[in-house]
Chain A
C-alpha cells in the first residue's frame, strides 16, 4: 500500500509555494505516495507560476479526501488570498492560514486518512501572530494530540541524524538538565524514530558535555558521572550506543560512517556541525507523535521568495523521509 502523505502549504509569503509546486511536478513523488495537498489553491497556483510548472489536481471537499497513488488530490483550504499577503512579508493572515492548514493535516492524521505529514516552511513569527501560542510546531502538534508519550525533533543530513537533550534553553541551564533519565529517554526515542525511518539497528554516538569529554574530570564531571553511566545503561537496554565522545570530532566520526546518529547535549553543539555538514540538504523530523512529520530544515527565505531560486532538494528529502516513516507506520496497523 502506498504511504498516504499530507503535503501542507506553509507560509504563503515565503518560498513554500514554489517548493511545493516543484515537488509536485516531479513524477517520483507521484509514484512513491498517495498525496493529499492541503492549502489555498490560489497560493499553490502562485507557486506554480513562480516555479514555471502547471499541476493537475483533483480538488475535493475535506470530507471526501481519499488520496490515491498516481494522482494529486487537494483540499482547497481557501484561507489565504495571495493579493492580501505580499511576498516576503511577515503577516498574521499568512500565519493563520499556515496554522489552519497544519491543524487540518493533524486532524486527518487523527482520523486515519493520512500516514505522515510534510510541510513547506512556516514563519515562526507569523505563526505566533496568527495564533500559535506554543514554542514551535512540535509543541503545537504535541498539544493537539494531547501527546504524553516521548517525542522530539531531529535534524537529518543525508543519512546522519542528530537528536538533542536540551534545545532552546540558556547555556547556563544546560548542565543541570543533563540527567540519566533524559539521556535514556532521548536514546530510546532516537532508536524508535530511526527504526521507523528504515534503520534496523541505528548506531548512536553520544556527544560529551565538556571540552575533551572532561579530560578525566579536569574540565567537568558530568561526562564521567552522568553521561557514561547512562550510555552503559542504554546499552544494557539493547540500544546501540557509544560515548561520550569529545564533541569536536563526534560529527566527523559519524560523517565518516561510524554512526547513524549523534545525540548532542545542547543547541549549538549539534546545530553548528549539522549546518556545516549539509545546510542545503537538511531535513527536520518531528517524531514520537501519532503521525511522523518531516519538513525542510530551512526557513521561509523571504529574501528570495517569488524569484524561483529556491532549492527544492531539502523538501524532496523531507518528503522521502515522510514516505519511509509512513510506510512503517501503516504496515504496523
Chain B
C-alpha cells in the first residue's frame, strides 16, 4: 500500500490549486512527503507555474503506477483528456468545468482500481461548476456519488476538520443559518456520531474515541430557556450514541469547548452548524487545518481554504494547509 502514490486533483484552474500542487512538490523533499501525482493538464500547469514564478520540473506519466518512481525528479502529471481551455488566474470559466470534474473522477477511479491509495483535492469554484450543470452541493457529495457502488460505499459522507490541536465535525454543513434547526435531527446527529466513531477507530487508530457534542443555542439552551433543541433533538442523540457504548459528552455550550483544557477532554467535537466548527478551528489553526471526508470507502483530504482567486497567479499562496492535507492523507492511508 505504501508504495502507491496519492492522487492530487487540480481543482479550479483559475484558483490557487495549481500553484499549491507545485509548491507542495518543491517542499516535498524537505518535508519528507510521500509520492503524489497531479491529475491535470501539463501544458496549462507549466504555464501557470512559470507565470507565478514557481520553478520546478514536471514529469508526464501515463499511469499512476509510474508516479512513485518519477516523483524524485519532478512533479508527476497524469494528463487529462479534457484540456484546460482558458485557465486565466483569478477568472473562473465555465469552459474549464469539464477538466475540473474529470480530474476528480479519475482520481477516485485510480483509488478504486488500486493504483493510488488516497485522494487529495484542491479547491473548486462551486458557482462555475453549478453553471456547468454540476448537480451536487459540493465536492464531498460528488465523491459520495462516485463511490456509491464500492464496498462500504453509499453512506452519507461526513466532513471533519482536523488539525494537531483539534478535530471537529459540523453535523450540518452548507446550510443557511436559518435552516439549520430544520435540518438538524436526532437521526442525523446519530449517523454523524456513528460515522465519526467508526472512522476514528479505523483510520485514526483511536479505538475508543471520546466525542463531545455542542449545543445549538447560546449556553446550550440554558435548560430550555434559550431553545429546545438540546433537550428535544441533541440530548436523545447523545443518549442513543451512549447506548451504542460510545464515550459521548454534551450538549456543551459552543463557547465552552475549545480552549486547551476543554480540548484535552475529547478526541473529536461535533458542532451543530458550519461556523460553529469552522470558527474554532480557523482561530486555533488558521493555515494548518485539513478537511477530511469520513464515511467514504476511500481516504480523502483537502485543504480547508477556498480557491483564493485574488491570490491566484502570484505564487504567494500558503501551501501549509495543502501540505497538511497531503500528510494526513498519507497517514490515514498507511494503515
> Beta-carbon contacts of A275-297 to B below 8 Å, as 1s and 0s?
11101000000000000000000
Flag whether A62 is at the interface (Cβ < 8 A).
no
Tell me the residues in window 158-198 of chain A with beta carbons closer than 8 Å to chain B beta carbons.
Answer: 167-172, 174-176
Which residue of chain A has its CB nearest to the CB of B277? Answer: A248
Cβ-defined contact, B280 with A171, below 8 A: no
Flag whether B217 is at the interface (Cβ < 8 A).
yes
Q: How far is the CB of B215 from chain A (nearest CB, A)?
A: 9
Cβ-defined contact, A248 with B177, below 8 A: no
Segment at the interface with B among A53-61, A68-76, A82-90, A263-271 = A263-271
Which residue of chain B has its CB nearest to the CB of A175? Answer: B178
B286 contacts across to A, CB distance below 8 A: 249, 252
Flag whether A1 is at the interface (Cβ < 8 A).
no
From DSSP, what is the main secondary structure of chain A's interface residues?
helix
Cβ-defined contact, B218 with A269, below 8 A: no
Residues A275 and B255 in contact in the complex (CB < 8 Å), given A169-B218, A215-B126, A251-B283 = yes
Segment at the interface with A among B2-10, B40-48, B52-60, B168-176 = B168-176
Residues A269 and B279 in contact in the complex (CB < 8 Å), given A211-B173, A211-B175, A219-B176 = yes
- CB < 8 Å neighbour of B279 from A167, A175, A212, A272: A272
Cβ-defined contact, B279 with A171, below 8 A: no
Complex: A332 Cα to B222 Cα, angstroms:
41
Complex: A210 Cα to B130 Cα, angstroms:
19
Flag whether A218 is at the interface (Cβ < 8 A).
yes
Residues A272 and B174 in contact in the complex (CB < 8 Å), given A167-B218, A247-B275 = no
Residues A273 and B178 in contact in the complex (CB < 8 Å), given A167-B218, A170-B227, A268-B218 = no
Q: How many A-B residue pairs have CB under 8 A?
A: 119
Q: How far is the CB of A269 from chain B (nearest CB, A)?
A: 6
Which residue of chain B has its CB nearest to the CB of A265? Answer: B177
Residues A168 and B177 in contact in the complex (CB < 8 Å), given A211-B274, A216-B127 = no
Q: How far is the CB of A274 from chain B (nearest CB, A)?
A: 8
> Beta-carbon contacts of B179-195 to A below 8 Å, as 1s and 0s?
11100000000000000
Cβ-defined contact, A220 with B255, below 8 A: no
Tell me the residues in window 116-145 of chain B with beta carbons closer than 8 Å to chain A beta carbons.
Answer: 126-127, 130
Total A residues in contact with B, Cβ cutoff 8 Å: 38
Cβ-defined contact, B178 with A276, below 8 A: no
Cβ-defined contact, B175 with A219, below 8 A: yes
Flag whether A214 is at the interface (Cβ < 8 A).
yes
Flag whether A116 is at the interface (Cβ < 8 A).
no
Cβ-defined contact, A220 with B218, below 8 A: no
Cβ-defined contact, A169 with B226, below 8 A: yes
B256 contacts across to A, CB distance below 8 A: 275
Cβ-defined contact, A267 with B218, below 8 A: yes
Flag whether A209 is at the interface (Cβ < 8 A).
yes
With most chain B CB atoms within 10 A of its CB, the pick from A211, A220, A269 is: A211
Tell me the B residues contacting A by CB distance below 8 Å. 126-127, 130, 173-181, 216-219, 221-222, 226-229, 253-256, 258-259, 273-276, 278-284, 286, 306
Given contact pairs A267-B218, A276-B280, A277-B283, enumerate 6 new A-B contacts (beta carbons under 8 Å).
A170-B228, A172-B178, A174-B178, A210-B177, A222-B176, A268-B276
Instruction: List 15 A-B residue pairs with CB atoms under 8 Å apart, sorted by A's residue number.
Output: A168-B219, A169-B218, A171-B216, A172-B178, A172-B227, A211-B278, A218-B127, A218-B130, A220-B178, A220-B179, A251-B283, A252-B283, A272-B254, A272-B280, A275-B259
